[in-house]
Amino acid sequence: GQSIAVFTSGGDACGMNGAVRACVRMAVYLGCQAFMIREGYQGMVQGGDQFVKATWASVSSIIHVGGTIIGSARCKEFMEREGRKKAAYNLVQREINRLIVIGGDGSLTGANIFRIEWTGLLDDLVASGKITPQQREKCKDLHIVGVVGSIDNDFCGTDLTIGTDSALHRITEAIDSIASTAYSHQRIFIMEVMGRHCGYLAMVSGIISEADYVFCPEAPPPLDWHERLCSKLQKERECGQRLNIIIIAEGANDLNGEPITAQMVKQVIFDRLGWDSRITVLGHVQRGGATSAYDRILACRMGAEATVAVLESTATTTPVVIVLVNNQIERIPLMGAVERTQAVNKALQDKDWAKAIALRGVA
């Protein structure tokens, strides 16, 4: 049968293990040899025991575990052609030319560059005597499929990315525990959540915690937000509200593109109202912990589909990324989705908020 390899790359997310498990098990079920590559592209460039032959049993009991047990890394070497040549050598040695990459837009872009260069890399390896023409023939084309693992939900073309739901569970738990103690004292809590380019976590946490104000990267507040925020807080107090919650995405900014930080908001409240507030930066708490039921299911569905897609891929197939649309698992062109995602980030940099929101396609 065919050989496929799966690896995780970029920032880790809950559900990545479930996706690896599903990829491996679908491959085994279909009579293929599955490999797991440790430490992302770093392991692919290093070779040796970074390549692990996987069986049905080797991915048992990992579906619930957060992070990624096969490791993830950023790899400078893979950014260069020489590094990618080493990676190609390590794959061809094992007769692997079908890859499933679980990561963010950077990792998916890297895979596509690798795919486009593949034939040239193999020609180089034959010319330098590292592989035989027969080996090249066996691994003629590189087939890639992407699965998006990212807690920020910052990828275009999918309703959700793997890891977002678990991160929301962590944020909910944190807000609930803070709210219950805060309630006794009449307090203002400012919570910073993740999301450099995407306010999804902030927006959803804002709704579920009945927050008074939410700061998102793609929807900057009016320039007089200081005044609006403080008069809102004051009104709430007058109505007898004992607890106020303000949510800030780590990438929040104003209409001029200047960052809005938790510290700034705290200062504004103190200067205008003389009220003290507490800042909680959730940070890595959002990444860790148990994987939610929804992320486990999403990972199973996406991983299984990724293996089927990578095995069905032919020399003329456009590479795909596995996405969730209207609760259906679908394949869409990988680079189209990556480019749209990168265009959103560019629009945010250019302070074209309307364009960013329109491109992302989320109301």
Contact status, residue 174 vs residue 280, Cβ threshold 8 Å: yes
Distance CA 178, CA 280 (A): 9
Residue in 152, 154, 165, 295 annotated catalytic: 152
What single-letter amino acid sits at 199?
G
Q: Which residues bind ligand ATP (CB under 6 A)?
A: 9-11, 41, 74-75, 78-79, 103-107, 109-110, 113, 150
Q: Which is nearer to ligand ATP, 35 or 41 (CB)?
A: 41
Contacts of 93 (CB under 8 A, 6+ apart): 47, 131, 135
Which has the closest alpha carbon to 33: 60, 7, 52? 52
Distance CA 54, CA 66 (A): 20
**Sign of the C-alpha dihedral computed for residues 339, 253, 357 and 288 taken in this order:** positive
CA 102 vs CA 163, 267, 347: distances in Å = 12, 41, 25
Distance CA 102, CA 108 (A): 8
Q: Which is nearer to ligand ATP, 28 or 75 (CB)?
A: 75
Q: Which is nearer to ligand ATP, 197 or 331 (CB)?
A: 197
Give the count of beta carbons closer than 10 Å to the beta carbon of residue 339.
Answer: 15
Specify whether 159 is catalytic.
no
Least CB distance from residue 68 to ligand ATP, whole Å? Answer: 11
Least CB distance from residue 152 to ligand ATP, whole Å? Answer: 7
Least CB distance from residue 356 to ligand ATP, whole Å? Answer: 17
Distance CA 83, CA 45 (A): 6
Helix (H, G, I), strand (E, B) or coil at 141: coil
Least CB distance from residue 240 to ligand ATP, whole Å? Answer: 43
Which has the closest alpha carbon to 45: 2, 3, 76, 86? 86
Query: Minimal CB distance to ligand ATP: which residue?
Result: 106
Least CB distance from residue 137 to ligand ATP, whole Å? Answer: 26
Q: Which is nearer to ligand ATP, 148 or 190 (CB)?
A: 148
Which has the closest alpha carbon to 197: 68, 105, 74? 105
- Residue 55 structure tokens: 């069986």
Least CB distance from residue 87 to ligand ATP, whole Å? Answer: 10
The four Cα atoms 160, 105, 302, 67 give a dihedral, to 10 degrees, of -90
Q: Which is nearer to ligand ATP, 10 or 206 (CB)?
A: 10
Q: Which is nearer to ligand ATP, 68 or 150 (CB)?
A: 150
Least CB distance from residue 66 to ligand ATP, whole Å? Answer: 15
Helix (H, G, I), strand (E, B) or coil at 40: helix
CA 338 vs CA 109, 304, 360: distances in Å = 7, 21, 11
Q: Which is nearer to ligand ATP, 40 or 206 (CB)?
A: 40
Q: Which residues are catalytic?
A: 152
